Chains A and B, each alone.
Chain A
Amino acid sequence: MLKFDLKKSAQHKPLFHFKGEVELQGICAVFGDSGAGKTSFFRVLAGLDNSFCGSLAWQGKTWQDNSSFIKTEKRSIGMVFQEPRLFPHLDTLGNLKLATKKAANSLYSITELAALLDFEPLLNKKIQQLSGGQKQRIAIARAILTGPDLLLMDEPLSSLDQHSRQLLLPFFKKLSEKIPIIYITHSMQEVFYLSNKMILMNKGEIESIGSPQALFLNLDLSLAKHKHSGVMVNVQAVHWDDEFSVLHGLIDQQAILVAIKKPESLQDLLIKIESKDVILATKKLECSSLQNCLFVRVEQIEHLPTGSVLLTLNTGTQKILAKITIKSLNELQLQVSQNIFAYIKAMSISALDS
């Protein structure tokens, strides 16, 4: 359990207020716009910023309160920064060995991590010879080698190539079974793939804590007003169409086409449907290029400050969001509990890691 109530103000104006508690199991994502305070939140958790007042406790141990402050080196945390921050005077192996100096019990050895994260050939290379993605993988290994009780990762994949991402995402998931991870990301796909819990930050505060699905569908939260609001939906894979390079799948028994790269094996996938990509119709459309039509029920209609409307649509067991203009809403005379058709271009659907 991580409990925090931390405040910082400048010139009598509150800058940040992080308040909440979260049971850490697996990966907890921290999501929010740039400038929402995600990195500041991390720095105060790690003890790298002592300018906050308030209290912070982890597993019943007080890390910070009015009279005490446990320093970073005593918190037993591993940290992956946005930049790799490897020591330039050491080679790869030297950097990794340094991390083991104070490690009580690391889950993996250097050799094991080198195999898992695919950097065996790099062990004797100088840091200056490595690419950005390679450095970041080493930095991740370094954080794990300290044998931490808690891992903090600040957008670890943001500067990484496709190969590294595909390697690391499943690894993080597996790792989180043993070490709880708090994970800052901008990517909705990463949130849904990795985490079962999410801390939503907005304008220097914790806006909400909950499951990603619930938070993204909650129209009262800042996420719904976001330009790229949308949700992740589970698609049951049915078969791969080699002729047209599309995947046939099902959302609540309704057929859907997804344009993705050919998967190695047929497996269910998570797709992202942005609310602005959903077209609503009260009658079936004919003669259009639209490939996906879902029969849905309008569950909620929320007016946004920008003059648009956000509708929550139920496909059966899952939900999607659609953003339309007030003009469209009035012309179609849409109402709650009405059954309508939702169209989505196959090309505007993105799957995890594509």
Chain B
Amino acid sequence: MLTELDYSAIILTLKLAGLTTLILLIISPPLAWWLARSRLFFRPFIEALVALPLVLPPTVLGFYLLISFSPDNFIGGFWLRLTGDTLAFSFQGLLIASLIYSLPFVVQPLQSAFVNLDKDYLEVAATLGFNPIETFYRVVFPMMLPSFIIAGALGFAHTVGEFGVVLMIGGNIPGETQLLSIALFDHVETLQYQQAHLLSFGLLTFSMTLLVLIYGVLQKRQQSIIHA
């Protein structure tokens, strides 16, 4: 059966994934909009930077984050002076890492939705008297709602499944930085296969359900709106 530590790992994972998703859903739309519409020469560089976590081994990202979180370096030092705490091996550090690591999973569905958004609708919105901000929340957001849900779901699922980065910068402090994937790893190492099975199967079911929902329902609905 699952131990108390397992439950606290599950709760911590949900907390981290929830917070990450929430923050990403705030910062990603403007970024995705800019990536979809900008013709500036340096746009491909920003686009590559955002997409980097997709191809980079998580341990590479984790390693650089670990270095920059060190109190000897700018970011880590700044955080230490600000909060009196170190970023490495803390929940805040995990959160920052998750934001970077899951960013492309939230930005890319939004970017593709915005690319597909016909400019004609934005013109109509302007003739209805909406300024760009009003156009965004009165027209673009409701019209692209399925894509926003897809973006959030992918960001959430990806954060839940994070392992490499977490291992590098989070360590394994129960209740503080011990996430589901780390707990699973511990069970396997100590040959507690029954608990490992439970956690693995839970994660598998969760991920599968989410993806079926995304590809079977949400994506179809978005397509039918875009190609109406």
Q: Which chain A residues have a beta carbon within 8 Å of chain B's beta carbons?
A: 46-48, 71-73, 76-79, 81, 83, 85, 87-90, 98-99, 101-103, 127-128, 142-143, 146
- With A81-B120, A85-B121, A128-B228 known as contacts, the answer to whether A102 contacts B129 (CB < 8 A) is yes
Report whether A73 and B225 are in contact in the complex, using a CB–CB cutoff of 8 Å.
Answer: no
B52 to chain A, nearest CB (A): 33
Interface of B is mostly: helix
1/0 per position for B116-149, CB-CB distance to A under 8 A? 0000110110111111001000110011010000
Q: Return the chain B residue nearest A127 by Cβ.
A: B228
A310 to chain B, nearest CB (A): 41
Q: Return the chain B residue nearest A126 by Cβ.
A: B228
Report whether A98 and B138 are in contact in the complex, using a CB–CB cutoff of 8 Å.
Answer: yes
Q: Return the chain A residue nearest B135 by Cβ.
A: A73
Q: Return the chain B residue nearest A143 by Cβ.
A: B127
- With A88-B143, A101-B138 known as contacts, the answer to whether A73 contacts B124 (CB < 8 A) is no
Contacts of A102 in B (CB 8 A): 128-130, 134
Report whether A89 and B142 are in contact in the complex, using a CB–CB cutoff of 8 Å.
Answer: yes
Contacts of A143 in B (CB 8 A): 127
Distance between Cα atoms of A128 and B224 in the complex (Å):
9
Distance between Cα atoms of A102 and B127 in the complex (Å):
10
Report whether A81 and B225 are in contact in the complex, using a CB–CB cutoff of 8 Å.
Answer: no
Report whether B120 and A89 are in contact in the complex, using a CB–CB cutoff of 8 Å.
Answer: no
Q: Which chain B residues have a beta carbon within 8 Å of chain A's beta carbons?
A: 120-121, 123-124, 126-131, 134, 138-139, 142-143, 145, 224-226, 228
Report whether A73 and B120 are in contact in the complex, using a CB–CB cutoff of 8 Å.
Answer: no
- With A87-B121, A98-B138 known as contacts, the answer to whether A73 contacts B228 (CB < 8 A) is no
- With A98-B138, A101-B138 known as contacts, the answer to whether A78 contacts B127 (CB < 8 A) is yes
B14 to chain A, nearest CB (A): 30
Contacts of B120 in A (CB 8 A): 81, 83, 85
Across the interface, B126 reaches (CB within 8 A) one of A73, A90, A101, namely: A73
Report whether A87 and B126 are in contact in the complex, using a CB–CB cutoff of 8 Å.
Answer: no
Contacts of A146 in B (CB 8 A): 127-129
Distance between Cα atoms of A77 and B129 in the complex (Å):
8
Query: Other CB < 8 Å A-B pairs besides A77-B127, A102-B130, A128-B228, 10 of them?
Result: A48-B123, A71-B131, A72-B123, A73-B126, A76-B129, A85-B120, A87-B143, A88-B228, A89-B143, A89-B145
Contacts of A103 in B (CB 8 A): 129
Query: Number of contacts between A and B (CB, 8 Å)?
Result: 63
Distance between Cα atoms of A83 and B128 in the complex (Å):
16
Distance between Cα atoms of A301 and B176 in the complex (Å):
96
Distance between Cα atoms of A127 and B120 in the complex (Å):
16
19 pairs, A vs B, C-beta closer than 8 Å: A48-B123, A72-B126, A73-B127, A76-B129, A78-B127, A81-B120, A85-B120, A85-B123, A85-B124, A88-B143, A89-B142, A90-B142, A98-B128, A101-B138, A102-B128, A127-B228, A128-B224, A142-B128, A146-B128
B117 to chain A, nearest CB (A): 11
- Residue from B128, B130, B228 with most neighbouring chain A CB atoms (10 Å): B128
Distance between Cα atoms of A74 and B123 in the complex (Å):
13
Contacts of B139 in A (CB 8 A): 87, 98
Contacts of B134 in A (CB 8 A): 102
Across the interface, A46 reaches (CB within 8 A) one of B127, B138, B224, B228, namely: B127
Q: Return the chain A residue nearest B129 by Cβ.
A: A102
Report whether B145 and A73 are in contact in the complex, using a CB–CB cutoff of 8 Å.
Answer: no
Distance between Cα atoms of A47 and B125 in the complex (Å):
13
Report whether B128 and A101 are in contact in the complex, using a CB–CB cutoff of 8 Å.
Answer: yes
Give me the 7 closest cross-chain CB pairs, A-B, nearest first: A88-B228, A102-B129, A72-B126, A79-B127, A89-B143, A85-B124, A73-B126
Across the interface, A73 reaches (CB within 8 A) one of B130, B142, B143, namely: B130
B139 to chain A, nearest CB (A): 7
Report whether B128 and A99 are in contact in the complex, using a CB–CB cutoff of 8 Å.
Answer: yes
Q: Return the chain B residue nearest A88 by Cβ.
A: B228
Distance between Cα atoms of A48 and B119 in the complex (Å):
11
- Residue from A77, A85, A103 with most neighbouring chain B CB atoms (10 Å): A85
- With A87-B121, A128-B228 known as contacts, the answer to whether A73 contacts B138 (CB < 8 A) is no
Contacts of A48 in B (CB 8 A): 123, 126-127
Distance between Cα atoms of A76 and B129 in the complex (Å):
7
A325 to chain B, nearest CB (A): 47
Distance between Cα atoms of A160 and B130 in the complex (Å):
28
Report whether B129 and A81 are in contact in the complex, using a CB–CB cutoff of 8 Å.
Answer: no
- With A102-B130, A103-B129 known as contacts, the answer to whether A81 contacts B228 (CB < 8 A) is no
Distance between Cα atoms of A90 and B145 in the complex (Å):
12
Q: Return the chain A residue nearest B144 by Cβ.
A: A89
A258 to chain B, nearest CB (A): 40
B93 to chain A, nearest CB (A): 40
Contacts of B142 in A (CB 8 A): 89-90
Distance between Cα atoms of A85 and B130 in the complex (Å):
16
Q: Return the chain A residue nearest B146 by Cβ.
A: A89
Across the interface, B129 reaches (CB within 8 A) one of A73, A83, A88, namely: A73
A56 to chain B, nearest CB (A): 16
Distance between Cα atoms of A99 and B226 in the complex (Å):
21
Contacts of A79 in B (CB 8 A): 124, 127
